[in-house]
Amino acid sequence: MSRVLGIDFGEKRLGLALSDESRTLASPLAVYERKDLQSDLRFLRDLILRYQITEIVLGLPLNMDGSLGPKAQQVLEFKRALEESLKLPVHTFDERFTTAEAERALLEANMSRRQRKAKRDALAAVLILQGYLQQST
């Protein structure tokens, strides 16, 4: 079986989620503090080998009207770098509401601001990956 890696892209951090082998359930994996592109790619390559990941889903932050803004352009550049370096299919998934949804869920769990900040990116990655898995079945 194969797993899918979900990534919530940020300039400072990558929220990471991993599917189960049946590709039906997404779970939080980690929040990676970004360094530089080469270090980031090396870290992701290690994850791919460790967890037998065969594809990646990258959250794409579209504008409310569905257009691509500067942040979405950054994500597409990162997508190209992932595809070239890791030689795996990289899909994008509309993530317009995932960060807000993650924040809402963490607020409902009565977490402090510091706890929310630590978990928000990984939870956003779970929401991106879970949405993709449900859409692709």
Within the chain, strands assigned E span 3-9, 13-19, 26-33, 53-60, 90-94
Closest CA to 131 of 96, 105, 81: 96
Domain holding 53, by residue range, is 3-135
Predicted confidence band of residue 118 (pLDDT cuts 50, 70, 90): low
pLDDT greater at residue 23 or residue 104? 23
Beta bridge partners of 27: 18
Which backbone phi and psi does 78 adopt, to 5 degrees? -65, -40
Q: Is 56 exposed, middle or buried (0-12, 13-18, 19+ CB in 10 A)?
A: buried
Beta bridge partners of 51: none
Residue 41's CATH number: 3.30.420.140
Question: What's the rounded mean pLDDT across residues 39-68?
Answer: 94
Give how many domains the chain has, as a whole number: 1
